[in-house]
Amino acid sequence: MIKYASILVVALMATSAFAAPTLNYSFVDVGGGLFGYTFYIDNNDAKLLSNGITVGFSAANQVKAFGAVVVDKESDATLYGGMGYPKTQDSWVFNPFAQNGLPGNNPLTGTAIVGGFLEENGGYAISVGSGPGSLMGNGVNVAYIVAGELGGVFQGVIARDGVSYAISGEYTTIPEPATMSLLGLGALALIRRRK
C-alpha cells in the first residue's frame, strides 16, 4: 500500500512541475464607477523564472498626468501620484515588467506595440518582460488596469523558459453563475442551520 502511495505522490509532483503559467486578477473599487484590476502571473509550480507577456485588454481607463503626460510605468505612476495625478484611476504596468518593453502586436487588434505599451480604442496592450536573470515566483504583479464593473476581455501569451502559453479570459467584478449558485447554496445552508 505504501509503495502505491509513493508512486502517486511522485506522479502528482511530476504533473504539477510542468503546469502552465496563468494570468489572474483581483479588483478593488476605486470610486466613480471604476475598479482597479491587478493582474498577476501565477507560474503554478513555485519555480523562480523570468516571464515575458504580451496581452491586450479590451477596456482600460487612461488618465494623463498634468493633462498631457502618458503614464505607463509603476515608477512614474508613483512619482506623479504625489503631484495630484490620480494613480488609482489610470492603467499602468508594474516593475520590473515596466522597465523591459518588447516588440509585439496587440493580440486583440493586431496593432504593433511600440516600446512595450499601447493605448488604443479605449483598451490597453502591453508587451513586456521581467528582464534577463529576473527571479520571479508565483503571484507576480504585471499590470494595473482600471475599468468599469463589467470590465472586459484579455488575450495574449505568457512566455517562460522558451515556451509560449496562450492566455485569455474576461475580467469583471460580477461573479460567474457557478459562483453565485455556490453562494446561494451557502446562504440556504446558513438559514436552515438557524432554524
Q: Which of 68, 80, 64, 62 is nearest to 144 (CA)?
A: 62
Domain range for 135: 20-194
Which pLDDT score, from 0 to 100, does residue 42 have? 83
Helices (H), the chain: 2-17, 74-81, 177-194
Mean pLDDT check: name the lowest of 91-105, 129-143, 179-193. 179-193
Q: According to the model, what pLDDT value does residue 161 have?
A: 77
> Facing residues of 31 across strands?
34
Q: What is the helix (H) or strand (E) element at residue 166, kind and residue range?
A: strand 163-171
Beta bridge partners of residue 36, listed in sequence order: 28, 146
Torsion 151-121-70-53 (CA) sign: positive
Average pLDDT, the chain: 82
- Asked if residue 24 is part of any domain, the answer here is yes
108 assigned to some structural domain: yes
Checking if the pLDDT of 180 tops 70, the result is no
How does residue 11 score in pLDDT terms, banded at 50, 70 and 90?
Answer: very low
pTM score of the predicted model: 0.79
Domain count, the chain: 1
Phi, psi at residue 96, to the nearest 5°? -85, -5
Using the predicted structure, report yes or no on whether residue 26 has a pLDDT greater than 90. yes
10 is a domain residue: no
Judge whether 2 lies within some domain. Answer: no
Q: Is residue 15 part of a domain?
A: no
Does some domain include residue 3?
A: no
Q: Note whether residue 14 is domain-resident.
A: no
The pLDDT assigned to 13 comes to: 37
Q: Residue 77 carries which side chain, given as an amino acid letter? A: A
- Residue 192: predicted pLDDT: 64
Which residue is listed with cell 495574449? 156
What CATH number did the domain enclosing 88 receive?
2.60.40
Write out pLDDT tens, residues 75-126. 999 999 989 999 999 999 999 899 899 999 999 999 999 999 999 989 999 9
Q: For position 194, what pLDDT does the model report?
A: 64
Residue 39 lies in a domain: yes
